Amino acid sequence: MNELEIIKRGTIDILLVDELKKKLVTKRKLRVKFGADPTAGDIHLGHAVPLEKLRQFQELGHEVIFIIGDFTAMIGDPTGRSILRKPLTRDEVMRNAETYTNQVFKILDKNKTEVVYNSKWLNDLGIEGILNLAGKYTVARMLERDDFNKRYKANTPISIIEFLYPLIQGYDSVYLKSDIEVGGNDQRFNLLVGRELQKHYGQEPQVVLTVPLLEGLDGEKKMSKSYGNYIGINEDPKEIFGKIMSISDKLMMRYYELLTTKNLSEDIHPKTLKENLAMELIEKFYDPLAAIHAKEEFLNVFKKHELPEDIPEFKFSEDSLWIQEILIRTKLVNSKGEARRMIVQAAVKVNQAKISDVKANIKIGSQAVIQVGKRKFARVSRSE
């Protein structure tokens, strides 16, 4: 594939293709911008889609600028939401930002990535700068954005700060003089605002490149930690392997297209393709040995029905405990609500026996193996 074909792969829109061709013809290093607000500590495969595209640009010899939106994270991006996102404190943002810088380099080339925080220039913008930005867009233009338009028609409140968010994000492009901005398809409006602002400031407008939103494990909703359908790139390799093996054949094909540069072979069984996909991702996020161990563990547990080798152990002083309490203390679930849901779904076992009573009282003997779903295990025993 030539350079343009590589860039096009897995994208939804390139605005505008003719402008991109002109930029590529110059043979100079293009400044490719991508921004992420550190609103949570984990990066998942949904984030990996635009990051993979950035990696392709790096391999083509271009310059990637990864923006950590520490300023914009404290405002709250309303994209795709019916209500304003809860703003975060400075401390929360910086804790999340630290994990972002550790995780993105599992995909991006650290030596070819410029990491910047947008507070560097937005803190200095001041009220005069904000008013100047606000004067470059009208309310009518803002209401062209689909989610704003729907909320306006439904008489759902829209705050002024939500109108400011696309302008502030767009100003990042002005300050950085970006040639290309990559983002999810839900960010299309915001990315185009950056393009228009560059025109206002006398700059050559950036090309906007949008990529699909990756569906989560359920194959329906977009991948999100809040939906519980995500695969975190920092998760245990065995967890990543198991989750990949659980997806549908159709979803597996989409993951291949968006997360790898390999072409699918119709001659290979879907199960083998999933194993190959899981191995490739784990090798990328960790190393080949971790991928081999994850595959072996999966085969032991699911083919041979053996227990994992390294089950975490917990000791309790009580003679017996409610099953919900055990699940929470062993961190097999995050809440009592999740514990009840897993029990009702017959996803909880004690020594291979399914537990169907949410109020079941489990005796803590010399040792018991607790299992939730197909991949989560804990070994519990009574402390002496």
- Interval 98-140: pLDDT, tens: 888 888 999 999 999 999 999 999 999 888 888 988 888 888 8
- Over the chain, what is the mean pLDDT? 87
pLDDT of residue 95: 85
- Cβ(161)–Cβ(127) under 8 Å? no
Name which of 26-35, 180-189, 214-223 the model is least confident about. 214-223
Report which of residues 340 and 75 the model is more confident about: 340
Q: Is 18 exposed, middle or buried (0-12, 13-18, 19+ CB in 10 A)?
A: exposed
For residue 354, the model assigns a pLDDT of 83
- Whole-angstrom distance between the N-terminal and C-terminal Cα of the chain? 65
Instruction: Give the residue from 162, 174, 168 showing the smallest Cα distance to 200.
Output: 174
Strands 348-350 and 353-354: antiparallel
Q: Could you read off the pLDDT of 21-48 as tens digits, one per residue? A: 999 999 899 999 999 888 777 789 999 9
Q: Determine the pLDDT at residue 224.
A: 82
Among the residue ranges 47-61, 129-143, 243-257, 296-310, the one predicted with the least confidence is 296-310
Least confident of 76-85, 154-163, 169-178, 344-353: 76-85
What pLDDT does residue 55 have?
94
pLDDT at 248: 87
For residues 220-241, give the mean pLDDT. 86
Q: How confident is the model at residue 312 (pLDDT cuts 50, 70, 90)?
A: confident
Q: What is the pLDDT of residue 82?
A: 47
Using CA atoms, how far apart are residues 10 and 5, in angstroms rounded to an integer? 10
How large is the average pLDDT for residues 254-268? Answer: 80
* Res 336: pLDDT: 85
Domains defined along the chain, listed by start = 3-211 (3.40.50.620), 235-303 (no CATH), 313-382 (3.10.290.10)
Angle, CA of 152, 170 and 226, to the nearest 5°: 60
pLDDT of 57 reads 96
**160-194 as b/e, with b when 16 or more CB fall inside 10 Å?**
eebbbbbbbbbbbbbbbebbbbbbbebbbbbbbbb
Question: How do residues 343-363 score in pLDDT, each as one tens digit?
Answer: 888 888 887 778 888 888 887
pTM summary value:
0.73
Using one digit for the tens of pLDDT, what is the confidence trace for 46-102? 999 999 999 999 999 999 999 998 888 877 665 555 455 566 778 888 888 888 888
* Mean pLDDT calculated for residue range 8-29: 92
| Percent of the chain's residues with pLDDT above 70 | 94
On the question of pLDDT at 210 being above 90, the answer is: yes
pLDDT tens per residue, range 314-339: 888 887 888 999 999 988 988 888 88
pLDDT of residue 306: 66
Residues 6+ positions from 289 with CB-CB distance below 8 Å = none
| pLDDT score for 75 | 74
Note the pLDDT of residue 48. Answer: 92
